[in-house]
Structure 1
Amino acid sequence: MTETSQKGAGPLVLVVDDEPQIRRFLKTGFEMQGFRIAEAETAKQALELAVMRRPDLVMLDLGLPDADGASVLEALRGWFQGAVIVLSVRSSEEEKVALLEKGADDYVVKPFGMAELLARARVVLRRVVQPGGAEPMLRVGGLSVDLARRLVSLDGVPVVLSPKQFALLRVLGAHHGKVLTHRQLMKELWPKDPDEDVQYLRILMKKLRDRIEPDPARPAYLVTELAIGYRLRTQEQLDAVGYASAMR
């Protein structure tokens, strides 16, 4: 167990991984951006540090030597209100969905880029700082969404959406930057019949992309997490994956 780094006064990130090189990589990347770091190699150490240090964010590897990381997530969500991002070499869609629905804020498959990871970390940390509230005005590239007044524009040109299309955009905007599973979206959009065929959601997403994406065949804003769900990218996430700033 490694004590909390004293560098800076930023949010505290608990890195839980049994691979020293991964912990070093994350420690360096986060500290360069002003975060503080605590480290744990095992599930037992992770839960002890979470209780003692109350981190703002837990970066949780699933392959721990004394327990599966999923059990750590379940234990944390019994009381922990901070953010959790799962890190794993496993890429099973079923597992990702299960972890997201058990309370993980995001899921990143190894190997990963530090820029995108930091962007995702900032998104989930904003959720912790401002729980339950979406920003009333969202701007990503050339897309502007006024959630309060139900107004949408692309490059300054108003976009007319159907009520259901705006409802989908509103739900994703309320969780701006976070992946939402198909089931979570279905519950929001069809609360009386959340087990409706997911194909209806896919059709609705296609129609929404046709309205707001510069290139619907290569979505920049509304991205698919394959077999899991969808995410409305933040500007930082857009930059991290290399979209041209000229889109703004």
Structure 2
Amino acid sequence: MPAHKVLIVEDDAHIRRLLRVALERAGHAVSEASTAREGLSLVDIAKPDAVLLDLGLPDRDGLEMIQLIKARSQATVLVVSARDETAEKVAALDLGADDYLIKPFDTEELLARLRTAFRHRLATQAERVNVTAGDVEIDLEHRRVRRGGEVIHLPPKEYDVLAELAKRPDRVIGHAHLLRTVWGPAHESHVDYLRIVIRGLRQKLEQDAAVPRLLINEPGVGYRLATGER
């Protein structure tokens, strides 16, 4: 039985073939679409577990597609695009993409990112409330954080930012999402607020705050909580 159902939405036939071969080798069931219209139709018909989405589609911009897919499906959305500008990554993540891979890409890295996304999806479905990153344990149900078994007391904003990162570990969470969720919509541009909170978290949770290994910055995009599970 195939591991998962994966939909490729990509107008380049060569890339579709490359992705299909890699995905089928990994045991996945694959469907393909060369346009946004075909892709949305297959989201409804094939009900994929994941969608590999190109942003440069001939009939609709891929950024619009992210919202349309998320509105009708629980599928993981992995953007696979030649657009390498930071603004494009930020926009895709803020619109709901689960990950972003730049062309040209290594198929083994793509499969690894899919495995990570599927693990996190299962954890979410199981209502996972405990996340471990290094020697840090985050209990989302009881709002409790431990490092090396010792309870760490965090100010509310620090805990709220950490909790948002812990809900989607190993995935980049955009600045705007973190600011909107923790501070409110009026503060989406106040990235300095976020930097101050991350600095405080690193001082309390990292072995060496100057060389962070848990709270990782993606310049111009956002932050991720590294658990080492990928």
- The TM-score, its normalising length taken from structure 2, stands at 0.83
1:54-93 maps to which residues of 2 (within 5 A)?
54-93=47-86
In structure 1, distance between residues paired with 2:160 and 2:225: 13
In structure 1, distance between residues paired with 2:74 and 2:211: 35
- String of CA shifts for 1:134-163, please: whole Å, max 9, x gaps: 521112333322223333334445544333
Are residues 132 and 188 of structure 1, via their aligned partners in 2, closer, same or farther at CA, if it must alter by over 3 Å? farther
CA RMSD of aligned residues (A): 2.8
Partner of 2:96: 103
In structure 2, distance between residues paired with 1:12 and 1:215: 41
In structure 2, distance between residues paired with 1:144 and 1:114: 32
In structure 1, distance between residues paired with 2:100 and 2:143: 30
Q: 2:195 aligned to 202, 221, 244, which one?
A: 202
In structure 2, distance between residues paired with 1:119 and 1:39: 20
Partner of 1:30: 23
Q: 1:151 aligned to 144, 154, 161, which one?
A: 144
Give 1:40 deviation, angstroms: 2.3
Q: Which moved more, 1:94-103 or 1:125-134?
A: 125-134
Q: 1:223 aligned to 197, 216, 227, which one?
A: 216
In structure 2, distance between residues paired with 1:58 and 1:119: 15
1:212 aligned partner, one-letter code: L
Q: 1:45 aligned to 34, 38, 51, which one?
A: 38
Percent identical: 38
Give the SS at the match of 2:30: strand
Mapped contact 2:4–2:29 kept (Cα < 8 A): yes
Q: Which moved more, 1:143-152 or 1:176-185?
A: 143-152
Mark the runs of 5 or more structure 2 residues left unpaired by the alignment. Answer: none
Give 1:106 deviation, angstroms: 2.2
In structure 1, distance between residues paired with 2:73 and 2:44: 9
Are residues 195 and 60 of structure 1, via their aligned partners in 2, closer, same or farther at CA, if it must alter by over 3 Å? closer
In structure 1, distance between residues paired with 2:33 and 2:218: 29
In structure 2, distance between residues paired with 1:94 and 1:19: 23
Give 1:164 deviation, angstroms: 2.5
Partner of 1:241: none
In structure 2, distance between residues paired with 1:231 and 1:134: 20
1:30 aligned partner, one-letter code: L
What is the total number of aligned residue pairs between the two structures?
230
Mapped contact 2:7–2:50 kept (Cα < 8 A): yes
2:2 aligned partner, one-letter code: A
In structure 1, distance between residues paired with 2:112 and 2:37: 28
Partner of 1:16: 9
In structure 2, distance between residues paired with 1:41 and 1:192: 36
Mapped contact 2:63–2:91 kept (Cα < 8 A): no
2:92 aligned partner, one-letter code: L
Mapped contact 2:36–2:59 kept (Cα < 8 A): yes
- The TM-score, its normalising length taken from structure 1, stands at 0.78
In structure 1, distance between residues paired with 2:26 and 2:133: 22
Partner of 2:164: 171
Give 1:57 deviation, angstroms: 0.7
Partner of 1:142: 135
Mapped contact 2:48–2:75 kept (Cα < 8 A): yes
Mapped contact 1:14–1:40 kept (Cα < 8 A): yes
Mapped contact 1:137–1:145 kept (Cα < 8 A): yes
